Structure 1
């Protein structure tokens, strides 16, 4: 028994122990900036690929980042595009051996109609921190919110039949960055168009135009009662960014 105890005691110094390992994860909108506190953040989940155990999870916090660094300066190899305020999630993971992980980003977390899940996989080594810009996952698309009409709004036909029916939507980049005429994210380069359905059948297209920063409007005549649905999309050909929202409303006598 004493021999066994001595043998175990001799082995203990060589037994593996968990080492704290830090990983910075960020969510960056395609052709734009980072998803952070102002938009409710992106939700990050880091799992051990072998057993799917969650090693860390949480939201990105911080600012969308420095516009000059991210969008304007030429980026050479090794050049950082993030500063100390740029949104991210710093995970602290205890591992005792090289661990293959899956990193999943759900973003933007508070915008369900625009929410995208993006993931990557990589090896983490004990004590080898991944910091600085860290792991950056790209989030494609636009956040599209139809503002008018409201969801399942009942509207009297007599209030609209003698004038164009007004539609309104708010559209921003996936990081919340501003879309404006002639701006860095230029509305002139975007197609914003709605397809109007009545009782399940397409009846017309509605073209939307920018009226102020992020705010788009369109109109068309509506002369009949029924159940209507507007399917609105935003599209940017240069980047492939697209976003969609849908809205149902009712016209009655």
Structure 2
């Protein structure tokens, strides 16, 4: 029995010794915006062996969203980088003993499930051949939208809103958390933001919404009758193709 254990340890030691440390940087970048880092809770990265789906490394990106001028305003040339030393990343250290085909999956924004996107890519890792510098960048399209008012399943008395419209409020940011304002890098004037209102499952009207302060869009819903209401707020940028949606259900009662 002792000889068997010793032999197993020797074999395991041989396998471990033959594995080579291989490092790879993975970054998540919002479409038409910056990198996803600590300020948004990070993007969740999973690296799997494509052959058997075994997880080789897992973690979150951390660091800053990056240099706005470098990312958004500087023309990119071959072998130039839009990431600096502070730019958010996940650094994985993987021990492999032969070329390994891997799947890289990024989930982001990790803490905003209604806006969460999964982006993936595949590539070969070669033992000891690190992929550093800018690393592997996966793009995350969309907007993060949070409807602030009305609240989920809020009960509202018809008598209190019969002559006063319900004020709709939604917070909208880029997928990196970058701010939206009038005339800024991410200009609210370039975006269409509207509410789609249903009552008892039937569409009744669209609601125009406009920016009232940084990231905050507002509009009014006139109310005429009691019922079960569903409000969908969407944002759309025709230039970038970015879209985002959030929904809320509320009740108007007699």
Report the TM range for the smaller structure's normalisation: over 0.9
**Number of matched residues?**
243
1:19 aligned partner: 20
Cα distance in 2 between the residues matched to 1:48 and 1:220: 51
Q: Quote how far apart the aligned CAs of 1:220 are.
A: 2.4
1:63 aligned partner: 64
**Native 8 Å contact 1:16 1:96 kept in 2:** no
Cα distance in 2 between the residues matched to 1:17 and 1:46: 21
1:7 aligned partner: none
Q: Does 1:160 align with 2:183?
A: no
Structure 2 residue runs without a partner (length 5+)? 1-12
Moved over 2 A (4+): none
CA RMSD, aligned part only? 1.6
Cα distance in 2 between the residues matched to 1:22 and 1:220: 53
Q: Quote how far apart the aligned CAs of 1:16 are.
A: 7.5
**Native 8 Å contact 1:104 1:118 kept in 2:** yes
Deviations along 1:195-220, one digit per CA (max 9) or x if unpaired, are 10001000110010000010000102
Cα distance in 1 between the residues matched to 2:210 and 2:95: 52
1:28 aligned partner: 29
Q: Quote how far apart the aligned CAs of 1:163 are.
A: 1.6
Alignment of 1:1-253 (within 5 A): 17-253=18-254
Q: Quote how far apart the aligned CAs of 1:165 are.
A: 1.6
Cα distance in 1 between the residues matched to 2:237 and 2:243: 7
SS at match of 2:45: strand
Cα distance in 1 between the residues matched to 2:114 and 2:81: 32
SS at match of 1:159: helix
Moved more, 231-240 or 16-25: 16-25
Cα distance in 2 between the residues matched to 1:60 and 1:161: 48
Q: Quote how far apart the aligned CAs of 1:188 are.
A: 0.2
**Native 8 Å contact 1:30 1:138 kept in 2:** yes
Q: TM-score, normalised by structure 1?
A: 0.94
Structure 1 residue runs without a partner (length 5+)? 1-11
Cα distance in 1 between the residues matched to 2:79 and 2:70: 13
Moved more, 130-139 or 218-227: 218-227
Q: TM-score, normalised by structure 2?
A: 0.93
**Native 8 Å contact 1:105 1:119 kept in 2:** yes
Cα distance in 1 between the residues matched to 2:159 and 2:21: 68
**Native 8 Å contact 1:165 1:222 kept in 2:** yes
Deviations along 1:82-115, one digit per CA (max 9) or x if unpaired, are 1111001000000000000000000010010000
